Amino acid sequence: MSASRGSPAELVEAARAGDRRSLARLLSSVERGGPEAREVASLLFDAAGSGYTVGLTGAPGAGKSTLVSALTGLLRSGGDEPRVAVLAVDPSSPFSGGAILGDRVRMGEHALDPGVYIRSMATRGHLGGLALAVPEAVRVLDALGFPWILLETVGVGQVEVDVAGAADTTVVVVNPGWGDAVQANKAGLMEIADIFVINKADRGGVRQTRHDLKAMLSLAASDDDGGWSPPIVATEAETGKGVDELVEALDAHRRHLEEGGRLEARRAAQRRREFHAVVVERLRARAIAKYGEQATAELADAVAAREVDPYVAADRLLGPD
């Protein structure tokens, strides 16, 4: 039996030794969920915690993948050439596994670098799953020794905001022009941004966008971020211009979090959310298994058609308390 067909424990061992197919298999089982994913999670839970995760989110086409590629290049050129894992999450895509075509092209320059691992994840038609699978995938990469994990998500809905919780530092990518900052605000990205990037700065209009972002930031309620105000960095991801400033901003935010235990508190809050999400997901799965998948789908249809209200339907599904 080849290593890539082994048990979770064998896969972990092989992945630790650098076998990429085993790493891919581990991530696939995490994506599928279920008993095997639970075993993977338990095997790696203790080993995680030394990697640092940077989430990049923003509207489709903002230049996230190009930026991730430029960032990967800069991080790799650091003193000890640290390994970089890239996880591209597309909540709208049913495809996963190998990097999606566009990203494969954009990340092409790193495709042959043995210190870079690129992987995409999708929903497999099951939105809630992603909010659980992504933090777990990040943990797998962290536990297997990637000091940098770059997490790209398309920022258009609640799922993306949830997924962003898996990152230590969240970078919101916008483009010059009034509309983008407003969209980012509407999509709830203002609250999750630790750093703003105005990418495609070569197109002009950066000053206006910077002004808009500042105005919206000043309106946003300041939370418990310990006095951090998100810096705004202008980049041209295609040429790499400004990406060094982004790295500086990332370092500054990381230092800010590491001071006074903020990083650990953030991660603890994320683990707490994960626990509750796992409980909800498991109870839901258990209830559906008992009631029947087809019957549940029909019940959901009845709610959609206003034949039953959601509470009565939930009572039917779950049975009496």
Interaction partner, residue 257 (Mg ion, ligand GTP, none; CB < 5-8 Å by kind): none
Instruction: Identify the sign of the CA torsion 267, 190, 106, 202.
Output: negative
Residue 199 binds to Mg ion (criterion: CB under 5 A) = no
CA distance linking residue 309 with residue 56, whole number of Å: 38
Interaction partner, residue 200 (Mg ion, ligand GTP, none; CB < 5-8 Å by kind): ligand GTP
Identify the residue whose tokens are 């990040």.
138
> Which amino acid is it at 284?
R
Q: Which of 12, 23, 62, 149 binds ligand GTP (CB under 6 A)?
A: 62
Binding mask 242-271 for ligand GTP (x = CB under 6 A): ------------------------------
Which residue blocks in the chain are alpha helix, DSSP H?
Answer: 8-16, 20-32, 35-45, 64-76, 101-106, 127-143, 158-164, 178-186, 189-192, 206-219, 243-258, 262-291, 293-304, 310-318
Count residues contacting ligand GTP (CB under 6 A)? 17
Minimum gap (Å) between residue 97 Cβ and Mg ion: 16
Q: Which of 184, 189, 232, 237 binds ligand GTP (CB under 6 A)?
A: 237
Residue 57 binds to ligand GTP (criterion: CB under 6 A) = no
> Which amino acid is it at 75?
L
Q: Is 108 helix (H, G, I), strand (E, B) or coil?
A: helix
Residues in the chain: 321
Which CB, 118 or 299, lies closer to ligand GTP?
Answer: 118
Q: Is 72 helix (H, G, I), strand (E, B) or coil?
A: helix
Minimum gap (Å) between residue 281 Cβ and ligand GTP: 27
Q: Which residues contact 210 (CB under 8 A, 6 or more apart)?
A: 198, 232, 234
Residue 238 binds to ligand GTP (criterion: CB under 6 A) = yes
Q: Report yes or no: 64 and 152 within 8 Å, Cβ to Cβ.
A: yes
CA distance linking residue 153 with residue 164, whole number of Å: 8
Which CB, 64 or 200, lies closer to Mg ion?
Answer: 64
In terms of phi and psi (left: phi > 0; alpha: psi -120 to 50; beta: otherwise), the region of 280 is alpha
Residue 236 binds to ligand GTP (criterion: CB under 6 A) = yes
- Of 42-50, 58-66, 132-140, 290-298, the window that binds ligand GTP (rule: CB under 6 A) is 58-66
Count of other CB atoms within 10 angstroms of residue 309 = 11
Q: Which of 65, 96, 120, 170 binds ligand GTP (CB under 6 A)?
A: 65
Which CB, 203 or 272, lies closer to ligand GTP?
Answer: 203
Residue 183 binds to ligand GTP (criterion: CB under 6 A) = no
Which candidate, 150, 255, 245, places its Cα nearest to that of 198? Answer: 245
- Of 25-33, 157-165, 178-186, 198-206, the window that binds ligand GTP (rule: CB under 6 A) is 198-206
Which CB, 15 or 84, lies closer to Mg ion?
Answer: 84
Interaction partner, residue 106 (Mg ion, ligand GTP, none; CB < 5-8 Å by kind): ligand GTP
Q: Which of 22, 29, 57, 65 binds Mg ion (CB under 5 A)?
A: 65
Q: Which residues bind Mg ion (CB under 5 A)?
A: 64-65
Q: Which residues bind ligand GTP (CB under 6 A)?
A: 60-66, 102, 106, 154, 199-200, 202-203, 236-238
